[in-house]
Structure 1
Amino acid sequence: MKALWTLNPYFWRYKWLLLSGVFFVLLSSAFSVFPAVYIREAFDEVAAAISGQGASNTERSLDLKHALILYSALILGLSIIKGLFTFLMRQTLIVMSRHMEYDLKNAIYAHYQKLDLAFYRRNSTGDLMNRISEDVSRTRMYIGPALMYTLNTAFATGITLFFMFSVDVKLSLLTLAPMPFLVWCIYRVFTLINQRSHAVQAQQSAISTLAQETFSGLRVLKAFGLEEEQTERYADSASRSFQQNERLYRVNALFMPLMLLLVGASTLIAVWVGGQGVIEGRLSPGVIAEFIYYVNLLTWPIASIGWVMSMVQRAEASMQRINDFLHVEPAIQNRAEARVPEHIRGEIVFENVSYTYPDSGIQALKHFSARIAPGETIVVVGKTGSGKSTLGLLLNRLMDPTKGRILVDGLDIREWDVDALRKAVGTVPQDAFLFSDSIAENIAFGTLEADRSLVESYAELAYVAEDVRGFPKGFDTVVGERGVTLSGGQKQRVSIARALIKQPPMLVLDDALSAVDTDTEVNILSGLRERIAGVTALLITQRLSCVHLADRIYVLDEGVLVQEGTHSSLVQVPGIYAELYTLQNPDA
């Protein structure tokens, strides 16, 4: 139960809903028991009338009629009051569980966003989604229904047993004899249900993953003509899901017959033993009806013990999974007195920076040192895996250097407020990710001041406005999941417009134009050169078509800065840069 203790602060936050719920459970349980007394008295009145005791037949009939009307009204009134308190019980405890579910999901989501890239490399997206959805839902079942039924079982059982034993101890003990066996059977059934439910959910996840991969890679499947084979794979997975569901339904089918059998056994005992008590004169006939009512009243609370135990076990496992991630400390955090500079010039200094990826052990940068003056444009080139993209990730402080430090305007970026630093750097990553929203909203992402005219002006700057206006809905076109409705080049240009509209003092373009043709790339970068005057720009690329825009060029090889200079100087010196230039410009 230790994992569930982490929910205590949430219970304290909603303590008044919790206390109110407990109070309403007590009242609901009490008013559910009281009708039994009036049922007994009503049956006794009928038995007395049938036996012919007391007044004349006419008077007995009239008195019986009045008595039954009175008892019916009392029972109906108590049932209405019980229903009211049951409603209030659910409105407090279940609503409290929904509030806590909402808070827990928000806490997990906020924590996810604080975690570093290494965490996301170690954990799959599906697992992250499952913990914030399925695991939180299972935890809510403990917070709400499990808690509610536990309280209801405790109060209802306690009050009912008090009434039963106050009437007759022997009859109470014999009537309750099958109940422990009922609890054990229900627990075993629900344990099997949980085990088979997990198997069903696992297979359902496999089906969903297969379907998602199929739809995402549909072009590849069609290109290789493998639609039938993939359909057979899906049918095979669906067949396994059907078999798992069939095993689950067979166990589910045991629940109600088993419960009715054991309830019937308790009812039979109440009638048999109670009937003997009536014959002996020890009990009144109404006691039999009263105990049948008690048996039915106790059935669900006692049967729910096994269900509640199962829910608690599942919630414990789910909360442990949630805590595993909530207890991960973000590698990138603000220091106690993080600074937010009022004015940012954009000077960037790398001092002996090294970085080794923790999971793979690959050293991406080795003792890299450089100074970029405010407003300077630097082009970083090198072969694949030379560490170019790592520079952009470190500057954005998506990860911290293993050794060395990075300074912006003379201040170590670890002293900066993380949000302020990232807002100061406009970044276009290699993977041009777009949200499933309109093109205008994607461009305006990250700034609250952007109106339509500003969005369109930056779309013009990124050479994507003409393409967008060609769509039926123009800038209101929804791009679909991950921008699937746009070409690779269009996505990259929308990403550039999104980065520039923030008007950042520093800009990182990480191979941001790899999907556009060379002429378009030159046009875009030439236009940028005019518009980003005064902006410190870091252009990371493998293509050398933009090098004429650079104030300086850095050449990386296996994480080491091997060459530095202008295009005209580097092309004349034997080395990696000259090799790349010759390969890309064979006629030069």
Structure 2
Amino acid sequence: MKRLYSEVVSSLRETRRTLASFVPFLRPRLRGMLLALVLLLLETGTSLAQPWPLALILDYVLGGKSLPGYVPRFLAGSGVLLAALAFLAVVVSGASRGISSLRSYLLQRLGQETVFDLRNALYRRVHELGLDYHSDRRTGDTITRVTGDVREVRTLLVDSVVEIGSSSLILLGMLVVMLFLDWKLTLLALLGAPFLFLAVSRYRGALINRMRTVRTREGAIASVAQEAITGIRAVKIFGREREELSRFRRESEEALRASVESAAIQARFGLMLGLVGGLGVALVVYFGARQVLAGAISVGELTVFVSYLGQFFSPMWSLSRQANQVGQSLVSAERIVELLDAEPGVKDLPGARPAPPIAGRVTFEDVSFAYDPQAGYVLDGMSFDVEAGSRVALVGVSGAGKTTVTSLIARLYDPQEGRILIDGQDIKGFTLRSLREAVTFVPQEPMLFRATVAENIAYGRPGASREEIEHAAELAGAAEFIRALPEGYDTLVSERGESLSGGQRQRISIARAMLRDSPILILDEPEAGLDAEVAGAVAESWRHLTEGRTTFVISHELRLAREVDRILVIDSGDIVESGTHEELLERDGLYARLYALQEPDVTWR
């Protein structure tokens, strides 16, 4: 018993901490919640009054009891009294239904507004968190938190709270009336209550554990589906439909098993509640009838008592059901609080200021970085200095750290050691927004959105005029094919740009960078996957793009390195060679060996 008490207390404390995180979302709706409380009190009163017209009819119309002295004389006739009591029954029932409907509408509105604010806060947090957070978590699980878990929390914050309040008030009111009518019968009716509360405490922990599994598995299901649908081209090419179906089925089976176990727990609890409630009603009817025969209470009073008792177990069942629902919703609440409380690994430091106009000089001073410190450093004491406006190629074998260098420049991650400077100033002193406005990425796989061509080009600079968009497309060599599209710049691009060729997507991505016009530019494999003709057109576009900008080119195509001002060769997390194409070939080092592998027929010595 002591252990059970300790577990209950610990669970209540954790629940209180979780619920406290949602107070800011409820505070703006305090007035509406108070109105809902008033309606709840009125609804409780009308619910308690519903059996009384029938009880009065049984006692004073059918039973022939004399009316109390305070009742008006014009109601003394049985026909008039019957009509008045029938009308009263209609009024009470109608008022109860009307108040209930109004309360339901109000709570629906409050709940939806709360979901709106909570979902927006979660989505904002998703964008605030850095790549270090998202790389460790499955995308589908995050999506499930923002969608499904929010709906569960709405049930917890609005529906469950009000349902529990309503059931508790009705129970309290019924208990008071029942004690007033016959305290012995009331105590007899409550004999099963301790067993019900014991059952709630017993089943709640098991139910919460099952629901944690269900929510986790649902997140995994969403992730599997998201990965397969996003990569549907690869699934089709490699003929992996059956394997993807099997993977989805495995995750679904885990969720199904936990859901079935949860349903079984609730079914067992419902059976127990029905047996206890049925036994209570039988005892009350038996002993109540004997009280009527003995003249201790009237038939009408027994009718009210039995009516209340029948309803008494309904709110108790509702409370127990809501206890289970709260347990399920708390699992979702915990997952949401975990996301809301997650701290971005990269954020504005105290005193950070907007970056001044940037020329583009980039300096690394003894920079060391690891995605996972236990796995070792990706960059280890790297130092280099790139002049503003110069073009630099980052060269090295796969995994050498080329992309990591460019990610650190934009503070997608922060190094564990060392400093990164732009124009001689530590980039940690700038606000993230102003720093990233100074850096433009042209990724290997251009990310296009389901929007028009014009909107995709202007993605990096919202509000750009149509003339500016078209001028950027001209510079990127994209204007000709855009004009040939069905609706030109207003053509809707399919998700991820699947309706365009690789070269077209790349040129739209370059046009986006042209329009953004930032002083620092990063090109990641600008010609990867393109045929010679398209690659030549793209190369001409990025020559225009890089003019006057500090440019970092990541490329395995070393022939591109001949067109930059300087080549940085990265190996084992550090710069091992630096110079022009000709200088590095003369040194006969790592760069020369890599170049020889790509151009075996070329001699340079």
Q: Which TM-score tier does this pair reach, normalised by the shorter chain?
A: 0.7 to 0.9
Q: What do residues 220-262 of structure 1 show as CA deviations (whole Å, max 9, x unaligned)?
A: 5555556566667767777777777666666666677766655
CA distance in 2, matches of 1:567, 1:282: 109
Per-residue deviation, 1:415? 0.7
1:274 corresponds to 2:296? no
Select the residue among 338, 341, 363 that pairs with 2:352. Answer: 338
CA distance in 2, matches of 1:200, 1:263: 31
The aligned counterpart of 1:311 is 325
Indicate the larger mover: 164-173 or 315-324.
315-324
The aligned counterpart of 1:291 is 305
Q: What do residues 488-537 of structure 1 show as CA deviations (whole Å, max 9, x unaligned)?
A: 44433333322332111211112233122345334323333335432221
Question: Where do 1:311-330 residues align within 5 Å?
Answer: 311-330=325-344
Residue 337 of structure 1 aligns to a residue whose secondary structure is coil
Measured at CA, do residues 250 and 10 of structure 1 come closer, stay the same or move farther in structure 2, by a change above 3 Å? closer
The aligned counterpart of 2:93 is 79
State whether residues 346 and 536 of structure 1, in contact with CA within 8 Å, keep that contact through their aligned partners in structure 2.
yes
Over aligned residue pairs, what C-alpha RMSD do you find? Answer: 3.5
Residue identity opposite 2:537 in structure 1? N
The aligned counterpart of 1:440 is 454
Measured at CA, do residues 183 and 447 of structure 1 come closer, stay the same or move farther in structure 2, by a change above 3 Å? same
Indicate the larger mover: 318-327 or 542-551.
318-327
Per-residue deviation, 1:422? 0.4
The aligned counterpart of 2:8 is none
Per-residue deviation, 1:452? 4.1
CA distance in 1, matches of 2:250, 2:340: 37
Per-residue deviation, 1:179? 4.8
Question: Where do 1:413-428 residues align within 5 Å?
Answer: 413-428=427-442
The aligned counterpart of 1:23 is 38
The aligned counterpart of 2:50 is 35
Residue identity opposite 2:347 in structure 1? Q
Residue identity opposite 1:577 in structure 2? Y
CA distance in 1, matches of 2:45, 2:164: 15
State whether residues 392 and 510 of structure 1, in contact with CA within 8 Å, keep that contact through their aligned partners in structure 2.
no
Measured at CA, do residues 584 and 456 of structure 1 come closer, stay the same or move farther in structure 2, by a change above 3 Å? farther
Residue 14 of structure 1 aligns to a residue whose secondary structure is helix
Q: Which runs of 5+ in 1 are unaligned?
A: 54-58
Q: What do residues 303-342 of structure 1 show as CA deviations (whole Å, max 9, x unaligned)?
A: 1221222233333333333333333322212123322245
Select the residue among 369, 384, 390 that pairs with 2:398. Answer: 384
State whether residues 183 and 302 of structure 1, in contact with CA within 8 Å, keep that contact through their aligned partners in structure 2.
no
Per-residue deviation, 1:87? 2.9
The aligned counterpart of 1:429 is 443
The aligned counterpart of 2:166 is 152
The aligned counterpart of 2:70 is none
CA distance in 2, matches of 1:60, 1:322: 63
CA distance in 1, matches of 2:355, 2:227: 45
The aligned counterpart of 1:166 is 180
Measured at CA, do residues 269 and 238 of structure 1 come closer, stay the same or move farther in structure 2, by a change above 3 Å? same
The aligned counterpart of 1:6 is 21
The aligned counterpart of 1:56 is none
Per-residue deviation, 1:563? 2.0
CA distance in 2, matches of 1:382, 1:109: 37
Indicate the larger mover: 518-527 or 114-123.
518-527
Indicate the larger mover: 123-132 or 67-76.
123-132
The aligned counterpart of 1:404 is 418
Measured at CA, do residues 190 and 350 of structure 1 come closer, stay the same or move farther in structure 2, by a change above 3 Å? closer
Indicate the larger mover: 288-297 or 466-475.
466-475
CA distance in 1, matches of 2:340, 2:102: 33
State whether residues 191 and 310 of structure 1, in contact with CA within 8 Å, keep that contact through their aligned partners in structure 2.
no
Q: Which runs of 5+ in 2 are unaligned?
A: 1-14, 68-72
The aligned counterpart of 1:515 is 529
CA distance in 1, matches of 2:488, 2:434: 33
Q: What do residues 334-385 of structure 1 show as CA deviations (whole Å, max 9, x unaligned)?
A: 1233222452222222223222223553322233333322222222222212
Indicate the larger mover: 513-522 or 273-282.
513-522
TM-score (norm 2): 0.85
State whether residues 496 and 512 of structure 1, in contact with CA within 8 Å, keep that contact through their aligned partners in structure 2.
no
Measured at CA, do residues 217 and 526 of structure 1 come closer, stay the same or move farther in structure 2, by a change above 3 Å? closer
Per-residue deviation, 1:470? 5.2
State whether residues 366 and 419 of structure 2, in contact with CA within 8 Å, keep that contact through their aligned partners in structure 1.
yes
Select the residue among 496, 506, 525 that pairs with 2:539. Answer: 525
Residue identity opposite 1:337 in structure 2? G
CA distance in 2, matches of 1:237, 1:371: 50
State whether residues 186 and 303 of structure 1, in contact with CA within 8 Å, keep that contact through their aligned partners in structure 2.
no
Measured at CA, do residues 419 and 230 of structure 1 come closer, stay the same or move farther in structure 2, by a change above 3 Å? closer
Indicate the larger mover: 337-346 or 63-72.
337-346
CA distance in 1, matches of 2:201, 2:561: 72
Measured at CA, do residues 356 and 488 of structure 1 come closer, stay the same or move farther in structure 2, by a change above 3 Å? same
Give % identity: 31
